[in-house]
Amino acid sequence: MIKVGVVGGTGYTGVELLRLLARHPMVKLQAITSRGDAGSRVDEMFPSLRGRVDLAFVAPQDARLEDCDVVFFATPNGIAMQQARALVDAGVRVIDLAADFRIKDVSEWQRWYAMEHAAPELVHEAVYGLPEVNRESIRGARLVANPGCYPTAVQLGFLPLIEAGIADTSILVADAKSGVSGAGRKAEVHTLFAEAADSFKAYGVSGHRHLPEISQGLARIAGAPVGLTFVPHLVPMIRGIHATLYAKVTGAIDLQALYEARYRDEPFVDVLPAGSHPETRSVRASNLCRMAVHRPQGGDVVVVLSVIDNLVKGAAGQAVQNMNIMFGVEEELGLDVIPVSP
Amino acid sequence: MIKVGVVGGTGYTGVELLRLLARHPMVKLQAITSRGDAGSRVDEMFPSLRGRVDLAFVAPQDARLEDCDVVFFATPNGIAMQQARALVDAGVRVIDLAADFRIKDVSEWQRWYAMEHAAPELVHEAVYGLPEVNRESIRGARLVANPGCYPTAVQLGFLPLIEAGIADTSILVADAKSGVSGAGRKAEVHTLFAEAADSFKAYGVSGHRHLPEISQGLARIAGAPVGLTFVPHLVPMIRGIHATLYAKVTGAIDLQALYEARYRDEPFVDVLPAGSHPETRSVRASNLCRMAVHRPQGGDVVVVLSVIDNLVKGAAGQAVQNMNIMFGVEEELGLDVIPVSP
Amino acid sequence: MIKVGVVGGTGYTGVELLRLLARHPMVKLQAITSRGDAGSRVDEMFPSLRGRVDLAFVAPQDARLEDCDVVFFATPNGIAMQQARALVDAGVRVIDLAADFRIKDVSEWQRWYAMEHAAPELVHEAVYGLPEVNRESIRGARLVANPGCYPTAVQLGFLPLIEAGIADTSILVADAKSGVSGAGRKAEVHTLFAEAADSFKAYGVSGHRHLPEISQGLARIAGAPVGLTFVPHLVPMIRGIHATLYAKVTGAIDLQALYEARYRDEPFVDVLPAGSHPETRSVRASNLCRMAVHRPQGGDVVVVLSVIDNLVKGAAGQAVQNMNIMFGVEEELGLDVIPVSP
Amino acid sequence: MIKVGVVGGTGYTGVELLRLLARHPMVKLQAITSRGDAGSRVDEMFPSLRGRVDLAFVAPQDARLEDCDVVFFATPNGIAMQQARALVDAGVRVIDLAADFRIKDVSEWQRWYAMEHAAPELVHEAVYGLPEVNRESIRGARLVANPGCYPTAVQLGFLPLIEAGIADTSILVADAKSGVSGAGRKAEVHTLFAEAADSFKAYGVSGHRHLPEISQGLARIAGAPVGLTFVPHLVPMIRGIHATLYAKVTGAIDLQALYEARYRDEPFVDVLPAGSHPETRSVRASNLCRMAVHRPQGGDVVVVLSVIDNLVKGAAGQAVQNMNIMFGVEEELGLDVIPVSP
């Protein structure tokens, strides 16, 4: 059994981790920490877990995380970077669901996240946990930087195009839409039901923190910087991300075959038949990314539609997938949830 | 392995059955019938099942249902009653998710459902599939009438009160609220998104078909007819039923202890701590019924709050629970889905 | 022109007041106060008002409210009671949309609202602003206590029954459902979109502050205390209240005729034809209360369905209606908005 | 008074027209036709109109439309083209809210709409009713083709860029999102609440009927064909369109000033301050188009965000605006509804 600790279990990625880990046949949940709610039962805050998680939140200092085999950080940005060093030194493997170790260029990270990095040397070591790109490195990693939700949907969608070298990477557009749970379980006015329901808007057009993360990933594949315009939007739904991707391509390639071949062996990427329009509900509560590729009117603009559940493949599910890879168990273990539809 | 057939797999209870059965470790899905969609793949209509259900719909006459161990009817009312006789005679056990066998008084059934009953003799034999009341009879049943969604939430909520004989059964009120999936996957104007979203209404106040079913169930427990007022409402949500139940009680009884004792050994009924308010999302996608019992201001009116997922404990999940009981396998097999929240 | 001041313009009742007042042909908006947002433009916070409200929020002390003809308090409970005395003494008429002056029994008010009352002598003078009951007193009132949202829907629904003396007032049930805007524009976790959407729950079953307000109103009509059970619920919609009311009646009375006669001359109460089920969206954004009365199966339980928009007839609209009455202008002035449907 | 007839009053654009016309001070509603619902009262189908529209639907042949000053067609595509000739010849002015007269190239229209055009000669005469482009021609028009919802939001958003000649019109991207009411009040499975709620998807990527309409409009402004990729999406909200527009620009122009200057005198187009993100709810129920223009990271890609209410500025409201222009009354008459928010 893999002994697991979760730091920061009171947000949406935290409770989603618990939903997945509680059913995972190889996992023993050791500790769930919370500074503010230490002492109170987990299932009191999250009644959905009654009968499945029989733990109380503990204060970080009482959690004995160094006895775990792996620790997940489901914390705000800036927490994991302060604690990862000690855990890694103690032989504990770390998976950070926040952004602390995602950007290789520390000064760029500091600009976007507006704080000093506490463990720049670990940034270099950390493996970016997108299994479809980095599976082999993840296997041996001591520290995994779990990708952001938008970056997962966008990178997986662009990947085959860019790997094939047929896209004009100087002008890529990612028009992305997210359910409101992506904003986290924080008391804020703009994500109140009465604000976000029955409405739609873009946000962060001038610059969103996921932009450098996506650009870095695409550039790595392209072997050169890319010109990406990324516009996120807020959708009045709870879960789900839909990325609509636009790229100019050159040459007459069979895009459907390209995408199917690229993802044939990926357990969590599903290329739909030509002409499809994936819905976010077709992946709700599951670790899948479904996508479709179009070339409207046979022109030179390719449109890729890519959907994930932001809390699963976009966060907790991908983290568990990374854990499975790191510990050499079957990659789909504990992740066999069938999407909940309708 | 239990060989399973599903008649009518294109509605919401059908696809939900498939979601549960596809993961059930003791089930082999043999056939899914559809008159209108025979020949087309199930996962084309329901992309959420891609990779999990590898069948095409077959016409009923080609389904060889008589080779199954059990057949589920996820059909409109009036279908199962025409086919159940032949299946039962062939030794196939039948679980009807529609209303054909729920009401013991055939003439009353005919009045509420406005058609002649095709198999009145089977009505007598059929066992009403509410395990918390009829578990032993279900075990040996050849034909199970799976309860309606509202009736499940309402009966489970009133049960302890009425069994204890402390409620004035001449005036019971069940104010029930359902998500829109309860209306089925039928093209109708009043359940369009633009009609049902951001709005709330009652319906069927003058008489809803679940009224006689609930009254019959409560009367059986009470040993006498009951006076029930039942008002259903439509909630702008996909899944979930919330029943708010009102009864006048006599005597000073510890209601919390009464409810906890009644359901202590029930795997799918969860009595919340005193003072709780169950949310439908705390059972979303799971087979649970969660409830809380209140006595506001210490008066003589008891308020019971009872929530289920209408498509699971209110339909497909309860049907699988019944199958598990009928075939002597563990009652929770295939039903260990943790509620999806948020 | 009526010179109007609004204290506390940053919540939902505040912005709704502005929506209505900005179009009111007899109103001149003088000042909108906000402690926290003084100096910033109103239409920056509420872009829906761009081009219609050309004011900035001012600090309360700079607002010169004593120069207004009427001041609305769209503030949290406990604010108006501190400022009303001075305004009334200065000849300014006051309409409080909060609860400070609704409960005549000051000690009961203090128990429910958990604070000391700052102006108990004004409680006596204040007129409860339900025009359908108190129109004449409102006309001359210096201080109007605008009713709560639930109390408006519930009292209007029970009114004809109780006035006619045919209901057993010892056991009344009000099962009420509200959209999420009823909780206000406050940053809180339980009203986040991801918490409140696609879910349904009751709250405050042990005792909600609107219970004593409704009980007081019904008792006044009945001429004796009433036995009321009131259970509020949260509906995943923005606006709207639906009250489902249950009462036992004696005697064979034509309920439809009773209700139609009672409200024939009321501009904002609409009794639907027999057999109707009013939807909240049929009054969305308007000052109407629509209702229907049922007697299921001809029994002795009457079911009344009553819907309002909680922000209009349940708050800002009723406040404007009260202002119109107080200043002797046409009661419907500025309130001729047609409900927005779908 | 303008005598008005409405053909096809049972859909969403129909009821929205009635909401606006019923309050219009210069309009006398003469007749509302419906083939299927002739004889039944309008407010029985649409309770929101109780007390405001006192008409019954009449059969088209009984409507005496030739006595009207103007007739609106709120019908499916292919109806207006059969009746417009006779009305125009009778001196009645016609505003078609469907697509019959929007595309000047009849053969292209026939390809996209898959039917033969019944009045090709009227196509030539018809004026495309986008006042911000064609105000003068609308004034004298006998027949106005009211623009589609997506085309309104997209064209208004691109307009200043293209007029200024600074956009590379060979590669324009319009990623558009619509509320579900855009699909009309037709009983269809894919727009059921349980299908469309809590989910998001693209549709019609291979080619949507609004594509040629938008391309025609943009080409007219550019003076040459444009290369447009248009992808519509379905948002789980009732009303609203959000268009996110991408264009490559050349030269260092003050985009904010450009947009503000272009729309300074337009009563229904509101350019938000630099850095804004318009929400669809900021125009809900109103005839406004609000927009913001961005140039992320100072690059050469411009992002325009443009929102409308699809049923108002995208349909019924724009039709009334056109009527006002055609009859020489104030353009904002009857359209002074303040957006309903929240």
* Digit-coded pLDDT (tens) for D174-216: 999 999 999 999 999 999 999 999 999 999 999 999 999 999 9
Domain edge (last residue) among C92, C125, C158: C125
Judgement on whether residues C170 and C262 belong to the same structural domain of the protein: yes
Which ranges of chain D have pLDDT less than 70?
Answer: none
* Chain C: closest CA distance from residue D338 (Å): 6
Look at A201 and D277 and tell me if their CB atoms are within 8 Å. Answer: yes
Domain edge (last residue) among A109, A125, A141: A125
B328 in a structural domain: no
Q: What is the 3-state secondary structure (H, E, C) of chain A?
A: CEEEEEECCCCHHHHHHHHHHCCCCCEEEEEEECCCCCCCEHHHHCHHHCCCCCCECECHHHCCHHHCCEEEECCCCCCHHHHHHHHHHCCCEEEECCCCCCCCCHHHHHHHHCCCCCCHHHHHHCEECCHHHHHHHHHHCCEEECCCHHHHHHHHHHHHHHHCCCECCCCEEEEEEECHHHHCCCCCHHHEHHHHCCCCEECCCCCCCHHHHHHHHHHHHHCCCCCEEEEEEECCCCCCEEEEEEEEECCCCCHHHHHHHHHCCCCCEEECCCCCCCEHHHHCCCCCEEEEEECHHHCCEEEEEEEECCCHHHHHHHHHHHHHHHCCCCCCCCCCCCCCCC
Judgement on whether residues B157 and B74 belong to the same structural domain of the protein: no
Chain B's closest residue to A336, CA to CA, is: B23
Alpha-carbon span D258 to D261, nearest angstrom: 5
Contacts of D185 in chain C (CB under 8 A): 342
Check if D149 is active-site.
Answer: yes
Chain C's closest residue to D239, CA to CA, is: C342
Judgement on whether residues A110 and A206 belong to the same structural domain of the protein: no
- Can you give the pLDDT at residue D250? 87
The CB density around residue C225, as the number of other CB atoms within 10 Å, is 12
A99 in a structural domain: yes
Look at D23 and C49 and tell me if their CB atoms are within 8 Å. Answer: no
Judgement on whether residues C108 and C167 belong to the same structural domain of the protein: no
Look at A238 and C181 and tell me if their CB atoms are within 8 Å. Answer: no
Q: Which of A189, A192, A234 would you mutate first to test chain C, the one with the most C CBs within 10 A? A: A192
Contacts of A247 in chain D (CB under 8 A): none
Which ranges of chain B have pLDDT less than 70?
Answer: none
- Can you give the pLDDT at residue B251? 81
CATH number at residue A51: 3.40.50.720
* Chain C: closest CA distance from residue D75 (Å): 18
Judgement on whether residues C15 and C99 belong to the same structural domain of the protein: yes
- DSSP 8-state symbol, D281: G
Tokens of D270: 């509101």
Look at C48 and D198 and tell me if their CB atoms are within 8 Å. Answer: no
Chain B's closest residue to A339, CA to CA, is: B48
As for the ipTM of the complex, it is: 0.97
A339 in a structural domain: no
Q: Which of D12, D192, D235, D309 would you mutate first to test chain B, the one with the most B CBs within 10 A? A: D192
Against chain C, the chains showing at least 3 CB pairs within 8 Å are: A, B, D
A173-214 confidence digits (pLDDT tens): 999 999 999 999 999 999 999 999 999 999 999 999 999 999
Contacts of B250 in chain C (CB under 8 A): none
Residue B229 belongs to what domain range? Answer: 150-310
* β strands within D40-105, DSSP E: 70-73, 93-96
Averaged confidence pLDDT in chain A:
97
D159 in a structural domain: yes
Judgement on whether residues C82 and C201 belong to the same structural domain of the protein: no
pLDDT one digit per residue (tens) for chain C, 342 residues: 999 999 998 999 999 999 999 999 999 999 999 999 999 999 999 999 999 999 999 999 999 999 999 999 999 999 999 999 999 999 999 999 999 999 999 999 999 999 999 999 999 999 999 999 999 999 999 999 999 999 999 999 999 999 999 999 999 999 999 999 999 999 999 999 999 999 999 999 999 999 999 999 999 999 999 999 999 999 999 999 999 999 999 888 999 999 999 999 999 999 999 999 999 999 999 999 999 999 999 999 999 999 999 999 999 999 999 999 999 999 999 999 999 999
B322 in a structural domain: no
- Cβ-Cβ pairs closer than 8 A, A with C, add up to 66
- Can you give the pLDDT at residue A331? 98
Burial of C202 (0-12, 13-18, 19+ CB in 10 A): buried
Judgement on whether residues D90 and D220 belong to the same structural domain of the protein: no
Chain D's closest residue to B190, CA to CA, is: D187
Judgement on whether residues D283 and D182 belong to the same structural domain of the protein: yes
Number of domains in chain D: 2
B222-234 confidence digits (pLDDT tens): 999 999 999 999 9
Chain D's closest residue to A282, CA to CA, is: D199
Chain A's closest residue to C196, CA to CA, is: A193
Q: What's the average model confidence in pLDDT over A115-142?
A: 98
CATH number at residue A181: 3.30.360.10
Look at B236 and D198 and tell me if their CB atoms are within 8 Å. Answer: no
Look at A193 and C12 and tell me if their CB atoms are within 8 Å. Answer: no
Look at D48 and C282 and tell me if their CB atoms are within 8 Å. Answer: yes
Look at A193 and C188 and tell me if their CB atoms are within 8 Å. Answer: no
Task: Please tell me which of the candidates D175, D207, D239 has its beta carbon nearest to residue A297.
Answer: D207
Q: What's the average model confidence in pLDDT over A102-129?
A: 97
B165 in a structural domain: yes
Judgement on whether residues A251 and A178 belong to the same structural domain of the protein: yes
Look at D201 and A277 and tell me if their CB atoms are within 8 Å. Answer: yes
Look at B200 and C239 and tell me if their CB atoms are within 8 Å. Answer: no
Task: Please tell me which of the candidates D22, D47, D185 has its beta carbon nearest to residue C282.
Answer: D47
A330-342 confidence digits (pLDDT tens): 999 999 999 999 9
Judgement on whether residues C116 and C165 belong to the same structural domain of the protein: no
Judgement on whether residues B173 and B297 belong to the same structural domain of the protein: yes
Q: Residue A173, CB half-sphere, CA atoms under 13 Å: how many?
A: 28
D59 in a structural domain: yes
- Give the DSSP letter string of B283-329: GTTSS-EEEEEE-GGG-SEEEEEEEE-TTIIIIIHHHHHHHHHHTTS
Judgement on whether residues D80 and D158 belong to the same structural domain of the protein: no
* Chain A: closest CA distance from residue C9 (Å): 15
- In sign, the C-alpha dihedral spanning D19, D24, D27, D28 is positive
A290-335 confidence digits (pLDDT tens): 999 999 999 999 999 999 999 999 999 999 999 999 999 999 999 9
Domain edge (last residue) among D125, D158, D192: D125
B242 in a structural domain: yes
Contacts of C179 in chain B (CB under 8 A): 198, 200
* Chain D: closest CA distance from residue C238 (Å): 7
Burial of C85 (0-12, 13-18, 19+ CB in 10 A): middle
